[in-house]
Each structure stands twice: as C-alpha cells, then as structure tokens.
Structure 1
Amino acid sequence: MEKILLKEESYAIIGACMTVYNELGQGFLESVYQEALAVTFNKTGISNEREQELAISFQGQVLQKKFYVDFLCYDKIILELKAVKSLDHNHEAQVINYLKASNKPLGILVNFGERSLVYKRLINKYYK
C-alpha cells in the first residue's frame, strides 16, 4: 500500500475546505472562500500563512516578479483556491510551478465553483 504524503495535514485542510463549502455553497468569489477558510483554519488550529509571497529564481537570480500562493499550510503544503466552473490543466500547472519555485512537497488545488467541492493533491516530483 502506498503511503499518502502529509496525510493528516492534507485531510485537515480538505476538511476545513468542506466546512466552508457546506456553509457557503458555490457562487461566491474566490476571495470570499479565502477569507472564510482563514477563519476556519484559525478556529481549528491549522497552521497557515495567507497570501504567502513566492519569489522566482532564474539562473541563480531572483526575479522581480512575485507570485502569491493563497495559503501555505503547516509550512509544507501550498493551498491554491479557485471558484470556477471547472478546473483545467492550467490550474494544475500553476500549482506545480508554485511547488517547484517554493520547493514544498505538496500542493492542494481546491475549486469551490462546482456543484460539489473538487480538490486535487499534487506532489512535487522535484522536491529535495
């Protein structure tokens, strides 16, 4: 049986997302879900940093362009939120690029915009 990477932490994060979705449902902007999730994380004790800055390096030089992940949880898991009709490969690529740039082991992509909560766990195959 394959071991699930950061199992307890990711289950806690997904559970918090389900709590938010069950109360708010679909139809709000991503920023609403982000704020509600921050409240839920704080109430449940899930370690998180909201809108964490992510620097990008190229050939050993840090670029001026910065990105911001929605949440960095437990200092190991990037959580990216969406509120769209459906997820596509561009959303997954965004999380994978964040994982490579940050050298974090796991990303979770969550979509609040569908009829039920949709999430994907993405592993950083470049993690050192």
Structure 2
Amino acid sequence: MNTDERDPLTAAVLAAAFEVSNQLGHGFLEAVYQRALLRELALRDVAVEREVAFKIRYKDAEIGTYVADLVVDRRVIVELKAVEALSPSHMGQCLNYLRASGLRVGLVLNFGRPKLEFKRLAL
C-alpha cells in the first residue's frame, strides 16, 4: 500500500514539501520554508493555518500554550526545521504537540539538508 492510499493528506503535504525543497534547496531559515510551504499548499488547494496556538493543560489547569508551525486541514500538525539533522528531541516535541492539541498525526520536516528529511508521527 503506498502512502497516497493510506493517508492522502500527509502525502499531499509531503509532495508540497518536496517541491519547496527542490525549488529552494537548503540553507535558508525556517521562516522562508514556512512561507514557501504555505504558498505551495495554497496552490494545491490544501487548507492550512500558520502558527496555531494550543492550550497545554495539567491536572485540569491551563498552564501555557504552544504554537504549531502549521496545521493542515485541522488534522495534521507540521513542524518545520532547518537543521543539520533531525534528533529524537524534535520527534518528542511533535509528539507533545499532538497530545496537547488532540490531533493524531504530525509531520516533522527538515529543510536543512540537501535532500528533504521527514518523519511521520501518529498517536
């Protein structure tokens, strides 16, 4: 089963991210890739929101907020990086964001290498 059959939304995000990576290459700041990915997703008619805030709760009290880089179709959190390599802490960060948001799927995209690096996470 290919990715498109299993999860067409994450496949669409990844296709857009690869297009951004192919067009821009590596070496820009994260904000540049965020704006380019927003544009590419819009061109593909994929609903996306930028810098979406989610409340963090602890024992029935709101203790803070976190801001997701992108939320696609109100279903997928996308965290962007422009680093030499993804680390376990990047995956942990995305998993925490999924727990806080109540969403089930996250993508961590790293534009900091010559070839786009990505991880798909699910709760």
Structure 2 portions without partners, runs of 5+: none
User: Aligned residues, how many?
Assistant: 122
- 1:22 aligns with 22
Q: TM-score, normalising length from structure 1?
A: 0.90
| SS of equivalent residue, structure 1 residue 26 | coil
Structure 1 portions without partners, runs of 5+: none
Q: TM-score, normalising length from structure 2?
A: 0.94
- 1:108 aligns with 107
| Consecutive aligned runs of 4 or more in structure 1 exceeding 3 Å deviation | 3-6
**Deviation per residue, 1:84-104 (Å, 9 max, x gap):** 000000100000000011110
Aligned mates of 2:18, 2:91 — CA distance in 1:
20
Aligned mates of 1:5, 1:57 — CA distance in 2:
35
Contact 2:69 2:79 in 1 (8 A): yes
Contact 2:4 2:11 in 1 (8 A): no
Aligned mates of 2:6, 2:62 — CA distance in 1:
29
Matched, 1:69 2:68: yes
Superposed CA RMSD in Å reads 1.7
**Deviation per residue, 1:21-56 (Å, 9 max, x gap):** 000000000000001111111111111111000110
Aligned mates of 2:6, 2:55 — CA distance in 1:
24
Matches within 5 A, 1:1-128: 7-63=7-63, 65-124=64-123
Aligned mates of 2:46, 2:101 — CA distance in 1:
20
Aligned mates of 2:71, 2:107 — CA distance in 1:
10
Percent identity over the alignment? 35
